[in-house]
Amino acid sequence: MLPRKVIAGPAQEPLTLEEAKRFLRITSDAEDDVVAALVAAARKRIERGTELALITQTVEVKLDGFWGSCAIELPMPPFQEVVSIQYLDGNGVLQTLLADTYKVSTHRRPGRVWLASGKSWPATKDEREAVTVTFKAGFGDDPADVPPNLIHAMRMLCAHYDRHREAVLAGEAPQLVPEGVEALMAGERIPEAA
């Protein structure tokens, strides 16, 4: 899959601060900043381990040019929509591709963009990263849209990170991700991320 860059992260985390604190059995507000950091770290680890976007975020990928009749497979499913496809034309001027030039599939993992029937891709400048596809990815805007097994994996990771605040514990075998978290992620992992 194509390398990607998150240009606008989620407006909220799939696991709320209150839910995380309840799972961690924390009753005071003294460590809210720490718990919020654990939640964000857990989401990013789940996303990295599954190659999914858990909650809506804006992502971009850069291509060296258009791919003829081949579909462009977009990373970080589930794919929601194309925001824009921009390219440097032969003169190096940034252009935005008209939406009727391409078709999309939002119900596949990974999402796909391909050339519409009777259309052709424009010529691009002969240089690296001449095409930028900006799109929205994630299960949805609301935490309820995220599969419950991935929310629970986030809870478990928060607990693991809370108990093991050091990178490596002296005298113990390092355990980067608890086995239960791996099992919860396995059901959602796309084949390319396996």
Separation in Å, CA 149 to CA 9, 57, 88, 116, 156: 21, 20, 42, 37, 10
Taking only the tens place, the pLDDT of each residue in 45-89 is 999 989 999 999 999 999 999 877 788 999 999 999 999 999 999
Q: Give 112's strand partners.
A: 73, 105
Q: Which residue has the tokens 């900006």?
A: 134
Q: List the helix and strand counts (H, then E) for the chain.
A: 4, 8
Give the integer Cα–Cα distance in Å for 79 and 37. Answer: 26
Give the integer Cα–Cα distance in Å for 163 and 74. Answer: 36
- Where do the DSSP E strands lie in the chain? 5-8, 57-63, 72-74, 79-88, 94-96, 102-105, 111-115, 131-137
Taking only the tens place, the pLDDT of each residue in 1-38 is 678 899 999 999 999 999 999 999 999 999 999 999 99
Calculate the average pLDDT of the chain: 89
Task: Kindly report the pTM of this predicted structure.
Answer: 0.85
- Where do the DSSP E strands lie in 64-192? 72-74, 79-88, 94-96, 102-105, 111-115, 131-137
Joined together, the tokens standing for residue 67 give 């791919």
Return the pLDDT at 164. 78
